[in-house]
Amino acid sequence: MSKKKKKKTVKYKQVTITISAGQKKSLMNFCKSRKSTPNKIIKKAIRPLLENYEDLEVNHVPSKVSQLQLFSME
């Protein structure tokens, strides 16, 4: 008999956003028209932005710029 592969568990994290009352009403109307939930609509909208950046290393070094050096004539 063959052994079954164990399914890798997916870890989820919670994210909170704030929207205005008008945006909430608009979101709910959109969900009703598509027969979906707000969570699914939001996830579908941001999925293309988040797909390929999981392993990206960001090396941001804040640079301090002196205002006097910006306008020097040297």
pLDDT, residue 40, reads: 95
pLDDT, residue 10, reads: 87
Structural domain boundaries of the chain? 18-49
pLDDT tens per residue across all 74 residues of the chain: 677 888 889 899 999 999 999 999 999 999 999 999 999 999 999 998 888 887 888 887 777 766 666 666 65
Distance, CA of 23 to CA of 29 (rounded, Å): 10
pLDDT, residue 1, reads: 64
pLDDT, residue 54, reads: 78
Q: Tell me if residue 15 falls in helix, strand or coil.
A: coil
